[in-house]
Structure 1
Amino acid sequence: MKLLLPLDVAHSYRESLNQLERLVPLETADVFLLYVAQNTSGLESILTSIGKARPHIDRELKERAKAVLDEVAEHLKDRCNSVITQIVQGSPPLAIEELAVIQNFDLIAMGATQTGGNPFYGLGSTAAHVVKHAPSSTLILRDGAKAEGNTIKVLFAVDGSPASLNAIRTVAGQLKSLAKEISVTVLTVVSIVGIWKFVAPVEFIASIEDNLNMAAQTILADADKALAEFGIKPDDLIVRSGEPANEIIKAARDTKADLIVLGAQGRTAVEQFFLGSVSHKASMHAPCSTVVVK
């Protein structure tokens, strides 16, 4: 597995690396540590006022970045297959996306919180851009509910699409290689776009809901079958009704999930038009780590 870890060298990295090591089998991973040095030209007047020239600040940042990258590489070298580091200049979201395209990474791991010492790019424009536009699967790391003992609680959110079934198979295979107990919940959400509730007859809405509930059972059965391919038996299969991203977030809280697994796309373009990107919304606001599989 080729794994890209973009680092923000201004913060400590240990808690995020602990999360990464819990959720990702690193033993076979080729890890690429990246720092993107943003251009400080827009801050030149401020830097000058405090007696710092822009070239001097740029050099200090890169020296600090190299020291942190070397420290993280030292930490990881005995835990993964290989580690390399690189410092580039530019816009973090664009640089990460471009490198992901060129290097064809299997996974990008990024931190979620903007405070509290998380070393990976925070949950802002950079993470949002990467989740939405990078071609690689993206893991957003959070300090969510703590696993009990050696158990990792995983919530698979499925919609019956090829993307969600691919997400199950991709992550289930990775989870099986972890030396940990896995507790799995599978969730699908029945949702009727709000506008139809106001313009359609009650009988029509009731008929749609019945059909959607029947379809939901088929979706759960397909997910159960996909997990069975890896010897995984879900602890629970859940159908909820409401706005998909909100229901996924609520279910993650209710189950005290450590990881939410999502496919990158919904079933249809119409659903995407009305509902927006469920995977994007959920990954941005989830209470625990989230992987969007592409």
Structure 2
Amino acid sequence: MNQRGDQKMRTMLLATDLTARSDRALDRAARLARETGTRLTVAHAIEDVKGVEESVNVPSWRRGKPAWKRLDALKAAAAADIRTQIGEQPVEPQIVIGEEKAPELIARLAADGDFDLVVTGVARDAGQGRVVLGSTVERLIKSGLAPVLIVKCRPVEGYRTVVAASDLSPTSARALRATLDLCAQSEVAVLHAYETEEEGIAVHGGSEQDPAYRKALEDARRFVADAAGDQEGRVRLVLEPGSPLSLLNSYATDHEADLVALGTHGRTGFFARLMGSVAERVLLTAPCDVLVVRGK
């Protein structure tokens, strides 16, 4: 993943605010680290440093204690909480407690650390309860520093039913390789939505009688052979005419997928932009976790 050719995943960064909304991402990262032996770095930001330093509203048992000691105590408590939640790992995790805004902390670590994967959760609108993209997630994806795994669902097992959307671009190839790496024991369905102008699409779409399907099948087979290499046997092609968004969410729902993967900034309209596009709607509406890989 990242820029190390065929090298497998070795380093993972988890962003957590230690609230309930981050529990699922933490559990997934811990599981992945155990399954793959990956070195896990866990980052947590203490953003209200000023509030810690101020002496107003300090409880009686903390009065007289220097601000730096109060801050150190908060850091120690956060680190202990993380170690308890992560549990035993084959490789000792690194814990980073920063005194800055979470997006800045995570972006700095991602830029400096050359991570193969960044894991984070999603926010929820306090008024409506709907999933929203937080500023940390948006910044991570836009940076393109590493593939980003957005965890929505509580993990009960490893990823088993996986679908990777593809427009057959180099960015989609990157996303497929990252998905195969992340889900080493699973088959990956590559879903390619193609256009057809043939009449009678309901009858001929998805069959050898449709010239557009034949062309899509030829292109998709070539794509998989090039992108997956010796992992080609783990890939199953799903070719359908229609809208990528509706097809992807429909497939994920009907097949009870636990992971959807996609690349951004490919050559077609589907991946042409990230925020405010179909790609963003996939992040918000997919019924499962989403892996996003951004092209260069």
Give TM-score, length-normalised by structure 1. 0.71
Q: Deviations over 1:250-279 (max 9, x none)?
A: 321122111111123221589626996544
Q: Is the contact between residue 132 and residue 280 of structure 1 (CA under 8 Å) also seen in structure 2?
A: no
CA distance in 2 between counterparts of 1:285 and 1:57 reads 44
Report the CA distance shift for 1:62/1:218 in structure 2 as closer, same or farther (over 3 A).
Answer: farther
Give the corresponding residue for 1:189.
193
SS at match of 2:44: strand
Q: Is the contact between residue 25 and residue 175 of structure 1 (CA under 8 Å) also seen in structure 2?
A: no
Q: Does 1:67 align with 2:77?
A: yes
Give the corresponding residue for 1:174.
182
Report the CA distance shift for 1:92/1:14 in structure 2 as closer, same or farther (over 3 A).
Answer: closer
Q: Is the contact between residue 24 and residue 174 of structure 1 (CA under 8 Å) also seen in structure 2?
A: no
Residue 24 of structure 1 and its aligned partner are, at CA, apart by: 6.0
Residue 144 of structure 1 and its aligned partner are, at CA, apart by: 6.8
Residue 285 of structure 1 and its aligned partner are, at CA, apart by: 2.8
SS at match of 1:72: helix
Give the gaps of 5 or more residues in structure 1. 116-121, 193-201
Q: Is the contact between residue 168 and residue 223 of structure 1 (CA under 8 Å) also seen in structure 2?
A: no
Give the gaps of 5 or more residues in structure 2. 1-9, 60-64, 126-131
Q: Is the contact between residue 140 and residue 290 of structure 1 (CA under 8 Å) also seen in structure 2?
A: yes
Residue 142 of structure 1 and its aligned partner are, at CA, apart by: 1.6
CA distance in 2 between counterparts of 1:13 and 1:84 reads 18
Q: Deviations over 1:181-208 (max 9, x none)?
A: x24322112369xxxxxxxxx99xx9xx
Report the CA distance shift for 1:152/1:23 in structure 2 as closer, same or farther (over 3 A).
Answer: farther
SS at match of 2:160: strand
Q: Deviations over 1:127-157 (max 9, x none)?
A: 122222241110001217976xx77100011
Residue 159 of structure 1 and its aligned partner are, at CA, apart by: 0.7
Stretch of structure 1 that moved more, 34-43 or 156-165: 34-43
Give TM-score, length-normalised by structure 2. 0.70
Report the CA distance shift for 1:164/1:35 in structure 2 as closer, same or farther (over 3 A).
Answer: same
SS at match of 2:150: strand
Give the corresponding residue for 2:164.
156
CA distance in 1 between counterparts of 2:87 and 2:283 reads 29
Report the CA distance shift for 1:59/1:93 in structure 2 as closer, same or farther (over 3 A).
Answer: farther
CA distance in 2 between counterparts of 1:88 and 1:283 reads 27
User: Superposed, which structure 2 residues align to 1:52-201 within 5 Å?
Assistant: 52=58, 63-73=73-83, 76=86, 78-114=88-124, 123-143=133-153, 152-176=160-184, 180=185, 182-190=186-194
Aligned length: 266
Give the aligned residue type for 1:103.
G
CA distance in 2 between counterparts of 1:212 and 1:42 reads 62
SS at match of 2:233: coil
Give the corresponding residue for 1:35.
44
CA distance in 1 between counterparts of 2:216 and 2:74 reads 51
Give the aligned residue type for 2:29.
L
SS at match of 2:98: strand
Q: Deviations over 1:37-88 (max 9, x none)?
A: 224659999x95xx359x9999767644532433433554642423111111
Q: Does 1:5 align with 2:14?
A: yes
Q: Is the contact between residue 34 and residue 89 of structure 2 (CA under 8 Å) also seen in structure 1?
A: no
Residue 220 of structure 1 and its aligned partner are, at CA, apart by: 2.8
RMSD: 4.2
Q: Is the contact between residue 249 and residue 282 of structure 1 (CA under 8 Å) also seen in structure 2?
A: yes
Q: Is the contact between residue 137 and residue 292 of structure 1 (CA under 8 Å) also seen in structure 2?
A: yes
Report the CA distance shift for 1:171/1:212 in structure 2 as closer, same or farther (over 3 A).
Answer: same
Q: Is the contact between residue 4 and residue 109 of structure 1 (CA under 8 Å) also seen in structure 2?
A: yes
Q: Is the contact between residue 191 and residue 241 of structure 1 (CA under 8 Å) also seen in structure 2?
A: yes
CA distance in 1 between counterparts of 2:75 and 2:191 reads 41
CA distance in 1 between counterparts of 2:281 and 2:270 reads 17
